[in-house]
Every structure is written in C-alpha cells, then in structure tokens.
Amino acid sequence: MGTSFGETLVRELANGSFVLVHPDSEVRVVSIQLWCHTGSFHEGRWAGSGISHFLEHLIFKGSLARSGQEFVLGLQELGGHVNAYTSFDRTVYHVDLPAEHWKEALELLCDAVLHPAIPEPEFEPEKDVIRRELAMVADDPDEELFQLGLRTAFSHHPFRYPVIGIPDLFEALTRKDVLAYHQERYCPQNLTLVVSGAVEPAEVFSEAAQSLGKEKARPMAQSYIPGEPDQMVPRRSQKEFVTEVSRVLFLYQIPGYEDPSGLPLLLLSLVAGGGRSSRFHRILVEEEGLAEEVEVFTHMALGAGVFGVGARCQNEKRGRLIARIRELVDQLGKNPVARNELERARRQALLQRWHSLKTASGRAGAIGWGWLVARDPGFYDRVVERIQGIEEEEIVECARRFLDPRRENLAELVPKGEREPFLEKGHAHGHGELPLPHRYRLGKGTRVVARQDQRVPLVGFHVLFPGGVFYEKPETAGLARLAAQLLPKGTRRRKAMEIAGRVEELGGYLEADGGNNSARLSIELLKQSWRDGLEIFLEILMEFCCREEELETERRKQLSLLAVEREDPVSVARDLLRRTLFAGHPYERNPLGTPETLARVGPQDVEEFVREVFFQASAVFGVAGDFCWEEVQGMMEPVLSAWGQSVPGEPTGFPPVPLREKPVRVEQQLPKEQAVIFIGFPTPGLQHPWQIPLAIAAEALSDLGGRLFVKIRQEHGLAYFTGATRFLGLAGGWFAFYVGTDPTRKEWVEKLLWEEIERLAVSGLDKGEVERAKAKLLSEDRMSDQDTAGVVAASALHELVGLGYDYAWRRRKKIEALTEEEVRECLVGCLGQKGPVTVVVSP
C-alpha cells in the first residue's frame, strides 16, 4: 500500500497480528513500534483505574524469559532508545536504534509485551512510581484544567477519565487484575507491528513470524464503551489551585477520527488558533491584551473528541476573557472563513505533516495511526488530502452544528480564594550518515553553515547570535531573552501581525528564542515558498523595529512565564540552585529576568541591544533543506555585505564561575504535593574536555537502567523521577543530581543520593554503564541526522560558541574512543570539589 513517503507492505500473521513494513534506507536507523489497540477507553470493569497505563509501566519489569534489568540493558547495548505511551485508544511500545541491531531489538520487545512476568516484588514499588506521577499531575495546572474540562464535558463516556487513572480506583488494582487485563486485551489479534527504516521487508516478516507470530490467538474481551447523551445545556466547573494566574478552558463535544465532520473542525482550529496571526491570538493576546496565551485545538480519539479553546490570564481579566471567547466562538458559526485564513490553515496542515515524517519514528507513527483508525497505512495522507479539499461553507456549517452555546463546557482554574461560591469545588456538571555541512563566508566574513537535503520539500534558515545574561546589565535582567522574542515582531515596514500572517500564508513558521549563551531566529518553509520567506527573514535583520505595543505584549508573556515557573517545584529548585551555585556571577540571573528588571526595559533598550549584540558579524547563519546554494548566496550576499561590524574570533572575556570552599545547603518551601532535591557541582566552560565524559555520566545516571533509577525508584520506590543534568555555559556550568519524591521521605532520599555520589566520586562508572551510555549517545546522534534543520542549527551554534561547526562529528569520534578510566578521572575531579550545593524544595 502506497503513501507519499513510500510503499508500506502489509502482512497478516496466522494468529491475527498484522505486520506493516516501510523500508527506507536513507539513514541507517530503524523504528520498531508495537501497537496494542487498547487504552483507557477499553478498561471495562476497571474503567477509570488507569490499568492500561499501569500495565505499560509493568511491561518493562521483565518477562518470563528475562528480568526487567536484562531487557533494558540489552536494548541499551544495542544503542536502542525504548519507551512507551498510553492514550485513550491505544498503547504503543517503541524502540529506535541503529539498523544493524533491529532483529535483536524486535525479539526483546515482543517478548516483553507478550509475556510480562509482572513480578510480585516489582508490583508495589511500581505503584509508588505511579503515585509520584499522580502527584506530578496534581501539581501541573494545565493538566488539572484539561482533566476538569473532560469531566465537565463527559458524564458517561470514558473520555472523562484520565489515562493515568483516578487515585482511589488505581489503589484498588491488584496484580491479579493487571494479569487478567493483559490476558483479555493483549491478544495477538489486537496487536500491530510497525517497522520503518533501513530494513528488508522479507526479513521483517520472517522475524515477526518468529517473535510475534508464534503467540496463539485467544478470546479477546470486547469492552463496552458507553455513548455520551446529547448535551442540551451549557455546563461550568471551577477549581481552586495554588497559582498566581487563572486558566480557562472551553470544550465542545465533537465526533472522533472516523466521522467526516471532525476534519472541518480540525481545520477550523487552525484558522482560529493556528499561529500568532490567527484570529484568537491576534485579538485576545495582541490587540486586547486579555490573555497571555491562547490555544485552539481539536483532540480526537476513536469514537469521541473535543474542540477546545484554552487561555491563561490575570485573574482580574478572567470574566472579560470568558465573555470575549464566547463572542469569538459564536462568530465561527456565523461569519465566513476568509480565503487567506483557509489557505494559511491548509498550508499549516501540510507543514505539520512533513514535519511529522522527518524521522523513521514519525513515519512509523503515521502508519500505525492510519492502521488503527482506518486499516489503511496511508490514511494520514488521505486526511491531509481531504483537508486540502474542505471549503469555507463546510467549516462554517460544522462550527454552527457543534459549537452551539448549549454544548459549551467551561472549566476554570483560579487562585486560592477566587472560586465563585455557587460552584461545587472540583465538581463538573539511503545508507550511511548524512554529510557534514559546508561552511562559507559571506559579506564581511559572516559565517554560513549549509547542508542540502532533498528528502522532504522544506527549507530552513537560522541565525545564531551571541546573547544571554553576559550581555545584560543586572538592572535590565531578562532583556536578552525579551529582545530575542521581539525579533519576529516588527520591522520598519511591517508590524507583527503582518509578518506572522505572511509567513503562515507561505506555509511556514517563524520563531525566535534566547538562552544562557546565545539567541536564535529561525524560519522554515515549504520549498516553493523559500525565496519569499528568506526576504522576510533578511528584512528583519536589516530593518528591525521595536514598537511599544509589541514590547508590552512580550513583557506580559515573559512575566506570565515567570509566574508559571514559580508554581513548578522543579523550576523553583533549579532556579534556587542557579542563584546559590553562581552567586555573584551573571549566571545567577534567571534569563527571564524579574518583574522589576523587565519593567525598566523600553523600546530603545531593545533596539540598542539587538543592534549592538545580535546584529554583528559574529553571528552564524544556517541554511538547511532542499535549496540551491547559488540562489541563496545571491540573496544573502548583498544584505550581509552591509550588516555587522567585525569578523570575530572565538568568544572570550567571560568571567569564570567562582568556586566555593565548603558545601552549602538551602531549602525553600512551596505548597505542592512533591519534594524536589538538586545536588550540584560546578564545572568548567562548555569547551573544556570534561564535557564529553560528563555527558556520558549524565546519560548513564538518567537512564531507566541507571544506578540512580534502580536504587532510588526500583528498589525503594521513593521517587517518580531521578537522574543527572548539566548546565552548559561559556564560563562554566554545573553537573547536578536531581530527584522528585514524597515530602515525608525527602531526608532518606537525600541520604541515598549522597551515598551514590560518594561512590561515583571514588570509583566512577563501571564499564557496562559507560559502554551503554556511549551506545545511547551515539544512537541519539544518528537519530538526529534525520532532521537536517536541527543538525544545521546545532552546527551553527557550535560554530558561534567556539566549538567549531564540525563539533558534532568530532564529538562522536571522541565518544567512541572514550574509556571507563577517563570517565572515572573526570567524575573524581568534578565530584571531589569542596563546594557542592544542595537545594531542597518541599511543602
């Protein structure tokens, strides 16, 4: 069966399983996905318990033939990246790895999914892991709002239940229940194997017959999914939450994937909320300032779906925002869709499609989804073709039918003390590696990194600027990121909405961001539109203009992000570590700034910063995709000849991070359900030879089979997440251990974490840990080769910070040659320092 990205071969095994193979030898990677057509909709007598999600966790705890540790380590040794997810209508297990090892990975994955042992000793500890995950969900305001909205919109259909389950129903699950659910739903005839990448189909069918086909078919429980009665009156629910901002969510019941009405509504969501120039964003965020963020979306599963409008705002604006959203939704069913809006939405749908098909994993996912929905591996293509043919009248008719005011479901998450009293609290009514990029110099010596890739018809342009906290004054902290965010917001000729609208009409996206060491402006477009897109890109670089109204909008958004960070335990802990470890150094400052420093920034400050810091010849450009270099050069050369001041050397002159003479421990209270601990050690700058051994260590310590995960989560069930992370800076950084745990157990967890650190500071990692981490990092590098735009952006960043545009390729060789002793020496040096910092954030 054909798709736009190549032929997919289908074979049914004797036991009723289907095998779908999409051969693609362009990059030597393979994605193996085993789809079980069961999810939270199909839990039957266990409805609402999260048993599908719990079983997904337990699958990785071992089979009848091997332990969970043997399974995870076996895949790591193959360079495999294994994971799984559970949704409303499916559970998917997937492994991405180098092509030469796919057969071994297939056998390991099928054995784990078909024959889970669910060992008794693993059952209760894994329940503790889910409990921690439930606590994390309870701390996430966006997830809480979405679940409140679903409970409001659905009174009978299992869409109302969270995939992770309701705590009381989850607690009642037994090992016997989980084994029974596996027996009833993980039947061979309910499984589909999808393989995409550098494989021979005949070999896949042969191996699948051995790994999957030998399992005998058995009776499968047919889960009853109750229908949802027609909604006749609007519903509203409200819940208090520890938050500084309010969130509102409108949901309307719509059909599932299989109903033709769903696609016009999907297109309508792109018209209303697909991009910064869309109706809802333009009016609610940019023009009227009622919201900091707004999202319009459809969320569909088999048999049911929702059309949603969500927004975040200051609490005092909530009433006006709700009224205005109602007006805008009402207009969707009355006013015709403008032709340019429809064309932009169609191009966005096309852009999203090509983005999802860049990797073997993305292609396998598209094939599996099409088979689940329509028994058609090319159904994804059919959906996009159908979207391209939908006209304005059909969209308005579907809006009139499904976005009726009587079908409205409004959920609100409000700060403590702001709940309206009449509402019940919480109750709802080719082969081989792709080539190294080329490096050119244009204009006054400005560097350009370029790599061609004709696999998909996309072209991307990037420019990486020096940036970050080093270039800010303390009194205007946050200016560097604010200036980066404002880059696409105006030129002397065009305002923000004109730029956004034009880019989206071209079927592209334009974005900018700033971090600790740099800033970035990027645009990616369909091949036929790249010249028009590059003109806009270069116009921004030559004619940037900061208008007061755009500054106010971006300032408001940045303040909102600061408020969101203050609610997240991990962000609070990370920021506390930054302030303590880097005290007195520019890195102590949050790139977002503070409300006080952001208030001091004016349009002139932004324009001066952009002109004096960003728009210099030290910037590095990147070009990626299906383009003609001579044409690109012809357009860029005249602009860059008049741009920038000097040709740079390597970045220098940054003050080193000060080292402490003794350990420091700080605590901070935050009224959440979990405690978060970070233990950080200072490290040299990102050009230092330590960085590659530390990358190996961070990978080994953050893995599902790593010693931290095994000791703290598996053996003791004390944490949902644990691992190691790095902060990379030009002048220095950190290597930090982290863990999220029950607040009542934080002292014990901290003690266990220090015990592991002390072992590492003496003995380092063992050979197996080092080799598995090396295999995973090298595998990740090979996976990243599939996204040429990402490769070029990374190459330009490496060139900017002095590592060299070919650093990724040199890094791979260094990883391959790295020894266990070299990693140990690095860890001894790093973890043996006198001044580590421990931070604890808890209720």
- Helix, coil or strand: residue 390: coil
Could you give the CA distance from residue 359 to residue 371 in angstroms, rounded to a whole number? 19
Q: Quick check: 351 and 507 in contact, CB under 8 A?
A: yes
For residue 254, what pLDDT band results from cuts at 50, 70 and 90?
very high
Please, are residues 268 and 332 in contact by the beta-carbon 8 Å criterion? yes
What is the mean predicted confidence (pLDDT) over 498-525?
Answer: 93
Please identify which residue in the block is written with the tokens 């297939």.
106
Buried b (16+ CB within 10 A) or exposed e, 386-418: ebeebebebbbebbeebbeeebbbbbbbbeeeb
Q: For residue 227, what pLDDT is reported? A: 86
- What pLDDT was estimated at residue 127? 94
pLDDT above 70 as % of the chain: 96
pLDDT of 403-447, one tens digit each? 999 999 999 999 988 876 544 433 333 334 557 889 999 888 889
Confidence of residue 1 (pLDDT cuts 50, 70, 90): low
DSSP state of 155: S
Residue 652 pLDDT: 55
Q: Residue 98: CB partners within 8 Å, gap ≥ 6?
A: 28, 29, 30, 78, 79, 779, 782
The pLDDT of 177-203, averaged and rounded, is 97
Pairing assessment for the beta strands 446-452 and 438-442 based on DSSP bridges: antiparallel
Whole-angstrom Cα distance, residue 547 to residue 492? Answer: 10
Only one residue has tokens 């004390």, namely 718
CA gap 812, 737 in Å, rounded: 25
pLDDT category of residue 303 using cuts at 50, 70 and 90: confident
Dihedral of the alpha carbons of 412, 276, 381, 85, in degrees to the nearest 10 = -40
Judged against a pLDDT cut of 60, whether residue 146 lies above it is answered with yes
Q: Measuring CA to CA, how many Å separate 70 from each of 62, 64, 74, 723?
A: 8, 12, 6, 20
β-pairing verdict for 81-86 and 91-98: antiparallel
pLDDT of residue 422: 43
pLDDT confidence bin for 720, thresholds 50/70/90 = confident
Q: Which contiguous run of DSSP H or E holds residue 499?
A: helix 496-505
End-to-end alpha carbon distance in the chain: 56
pLDDT at 577 over 80: yes
The pLDDT-based confidence of 222 (bands split at 50, 70, 90) is confident
Q: Tell me, what amino acid is at 247?
A: R
Q: How many residues does the chain have?
A: 843
**How far, rounded to the nearest angstrom, does the alpha carbon of residue 40 sit from its chain's CA centroid?**
22
Picking from 121, 143, 130, the residue whose alpha carbon sits closest to that of residue 49 is 130
Determine the pLDDT at residue 713.
79
| pLDDT at residue 639 in the model | 85
Pairing type for strands 409-415 and 235-241 reads: parallel
Question: Over the chain, what is the mean pLDDT?
Answer: 91
Domain boundaries, the chain: 2-211, 235-415, 438-641, 664-842
Q: Say which CATH topology domain 664-842 has.
A: Cytochrome Bc1 Complex; Chain A, domain 1 (3.30.830)
Residue 203 tokens read as 């070999």
Q: Looking at residues 712-736, what average pLDDT do you find?
A: 87
Helix, strand, coil percentages for the chain (3-state, nearest 5)? 50, 20, 30
Question: How far apart are alpha carbons 604 and 544 in whole angstroms?
Answer: 12
- Does the pLDDT value for residue 691 go beyond 50? yes
Asked whether 291 and 313 are in contact (CB, 8 A), the reply is yes
In Å, how far are 248, 694, 717, 721, 805 from 686, measured between CA atoms? 42, 11, 35, 26, 15
Q: What is the pLDDT of residue 106?
A: 98
pLDDT band at 606 (very low <50, low <70, confident <90, very high): very high
Distance in angstroms (rounded) separating the CA atoms of residues 52 and 485: 41
Fold of 438-641: Cytochrome Bc1 Complex; Chain A, domain 1 (3.30.830)
The CA–CA distances, whole Å, from 757 to 467, 690, 720, 746, 749 equal: 34, 17, 19, 16, 12
Predicted local distance difference test score (pLDDT) of residue 432: 46
Per-residue CA distances from 453 to 155, 430, 785, 786, 789 (Å): 50, 12, 11, 10, 9
Q: Pairing mode, if any, of strands 304-313 and 246-254?
A: antiparallel
Helix (H, G, I), strand (E, B) or coil at 187: coil
The C-alpha atoms of residue 344 and residue 166 are separated, in whole angstroms, by 40
Task: Say what the pLDDT of residue 425 is.
Answer: 37
Superfamily holding 235-415: Metalloenzyme, LuxS/M16 peptidase-like (3.30.830.10)
Closest CA relative to residue 105, chosen from 214, 215, 204, 216: 204
Structure tokens at 116: 């889970």
Could you read off the pLDDT of 229-244 as tens digits, one per residue?
889 899 999 999 999 8
- In CATH terms, the superfamily for domain 2-211 is Metalloenzyme, LuxS/M16 peptidase-like (3.30.830.10)
Q: What is the mean pLDDT of residues 612-618?
A: 86
Across-strand partners of 726?
A: 735
Question: Beta 18-23 vs 81-86: how paired, if at all?
Answer: unpaired
Who contacts 369 (Cβ-Cβ below 8 Å, separation ≥6)?
Answer: 379, 380
Q: How far apart are CA 202 and CA 199, in angstroms?
A: 9
Q: Residue 424 has what pLDDT?
A: 40
- Residues 539-578 as b/e (b if ≥16 CB within 10 A, e otherwise) read bbbeebbbeeebbebbbbbbbbebbbeebbbbbbbbbbbb
295 phi, psi to nearest 5 deg: -135, 135
- Here the tokens at position 554 are 């971006």
pLDDT digits (tens, 9 = 90+) for 107-144: 999 999 999 999 999 999 999 999 989 999 899 999 99
- Pair of tokens at residue 435: 């080539």
User: What's the pLDDT at 27?
Assistant: 84
The DSSP 8-state label assigned to residue 100 in this structure reads: G
- 53 vs 616, residue with greater confidence: 53
Q: Do domains 438-641 and 664-842 have the same CATH topology?
A: yes
Alpha-carbon distance 631 to 531, whole Å? 9
CB 614 within 8 A of CB 464: no
Share of the chain above pLDDT 90, in %: 75
State how far the Cα of 833 lies from the Cα of 581, in Å rounded to an integer: 13
The model's pLDDT over 634-669, given as tens digits with 9 standing for 90+, comes to 999 988 887 765 444 444 567 888 888 899 999 999
What pLDDT, in 10s, does the model give residues 26-72?
Answer: 889 999 999 999 999 999 999 999 999 999 999 999 999 999 999 99
Of the candidates 73, 40, 39, the one whose C-alpha atom is nearest the C-alpha of residue 769 is 73
CA 531 to chain centre: 30
Query: Once rounded to an integer, what is the mean pLDDT over residues 265-292?
Result: 92
Q: Give me 700's structure tokens.
A: 């080994």
Gap between the Cα atoms of 195 and 16, Å rounded: 17
